[in-house]
Amino acid sequence: MVEAAPAIWPKAAARARRCVVLTGAGISAESGLATFRGPGGWWRNHDPQTLATPQAFRKNPGLVWEWYQWRREQAKRAEPSSGHRAIVVLEDIFPEFLLITQNVDGLHQRAGSRRMVEIHGNIFREKCFDCGQSGPGCSETKSPPRCSCGGLMRPDVVWFGEALPAEALETAWRESARAEIFLAVGTSGLVQPAASLPLAAKQGGAFLVEINPEPTPLSNWADLSIRAKAGEAMAVLVDALRAQGR
Ligand code: NAD
Ligand code: ZN
């Protein structure tokens, strides 16, 4: 339980204008969505890390598609958490703000986040496995539909071993490097290149805050590590800013 933000936080945030928040699966854990590595991350005995690959789709497109349909259903049923909502408050407080999310579940948009980049895509969009053309999105079909080129549609997410969307990544690097405050929330710090964004921020002089119930490789670099769930930790950070009249 965190009762109040350590004094170092309001001091660091007092005059800051530029804030960047990076989120991982941990922030959606409180909406009931499983992380890949945590408990409940398995689906019908399949390891997500072997399903979220181009090789898996090539081998068994139906299985991978079905897994994403299941994840879409879970995401649709889930509600944004207090952590998702606190990020919207930060966006209102800081004049310059960017949310960088590794999540693909659309919960940040549903919470009301506006200035954001999705560096791992979104499960509610689809694109052709062969030509890359976008589909209508969120097909309800049981198996992957066909593109006009004859290729199979796949979810528009970044699989292990694939490149991240260039424009979103460029924005993420640029804004991280100029951030005054950088919050890493619910991310294991193991998936690259996202894991390097907090370090770019730190090198650029940002005050680095980590929120995660578990220690991560990032903990060594953080100016402030809050070992708590995203929702309660974000709430105390926001309260401290409100107490400053922001
Ligand atoms: P991750 O690497 O971002 O790790 C999750 C982290 O969240 C862990 O360090 C864990 O300790 C922490 N955590 C757990 N509960 C938390 C809470 N209540 N508050 C704060 N932190 C908490 O995510 P991953 O699961 O290893 O997956 C890697 C990638 O797979 C993601 O970056 C994403 O692209 C994709 N993924 C997305 C979703 C989603 O959109 N909801 C879910 C699973 C995986
Ligand atoms: Zn195509």
Task: Please give the share of the chain, as a percent, with pLDDT higher than 90.
Answer: 84
- Ligand 1 atom nearest to 23, measured from its CA: 3
Report strand pairing: 121-128 vs 116-118.
unpaired
The residues, ordered by sequence, that sit 6+ positions from 16 with a Cβ below 8 Å of its Cβ are: 94, 180, 181, 207
Q: How far is the C-alpha of 87 from the C-alpha of 93, rounded, in Å?
A: 10
**CA of 39, nearest ligand number:** 1
- Evaluate: CB of 23 within 6 angstroms of ligand 1: no
List the catalytic residues. 120
- Evaluate: CB of 213 within 6 angstroms of ligand 1: yes
**CA of 106, nearest ligand number:** 1
The DSSP secondary-structure symbol of 195 reads G
pLDDT beyond 80 at 139:
no
pLDDT at residue number 193:
92
Q: How confident is the model at residue 135 (pLDDT cuts 50, 70, 90)?
A: confident
- Ligand 1 atom nearest to 38, measured from its CA: 25
pLDDT beyond 90 at 37:
no
The answer to whether residues 56 and 214 touch, using CB atoms and an 8 Å cutoff, is: no
C-alpha 84 to ligand 1 mean position (Å)? 14
Position with higher pLDDT, 40 vs 96: 96
Q: What angle do CA 39, 157, 154 make, to 5 degrees?
A: 110
Instruction: Render pLDDT for 171-197 as a digit per residue (tens, 0 to 9).
Output: 999 999 999 999 999 999 888 999 999
Q: Which of 1, 36, 185 to mutate to test the pocket of ligand 1 (most atoms within 8 A of CB)?
A: 36
- Among 105, 117, 109, 106, which residue's Cα sits nearest to residue 21? 117
Task: Please give the share of the chain, as a percent, with pLDDT higher than 70.
Answer: 99
pLDDT at residue number 137:
76
pLDDT beyond 70 at 138:
no
Residues facing 139 on adjacent strands:
none
The residues, ordered by sequence, that sit 6+ positions from 224 with a Cβ below 8 Å of its Cβ are: 6, 8, 9, 12, 207, 208, 209, 210
CA dihedral (206, 4, 21, 159) in degrees, to 10, reads 120
Backbone angles phi, psi at 6, to 5 degrees: -55, 145
C-alpha 148 to ligand 2 mean position (Å)? 6
Instruction: Render pLDDT for 203-220 as a digit per residue (tens, 0 to 9).
Output: 999 999 999 999 999 999
pLDDT at residue number 18:
98
- Evaluate: CB of 24 within 6 angstroms of ligand 1: yes
pLDDT beyond 70 at 224:
yes
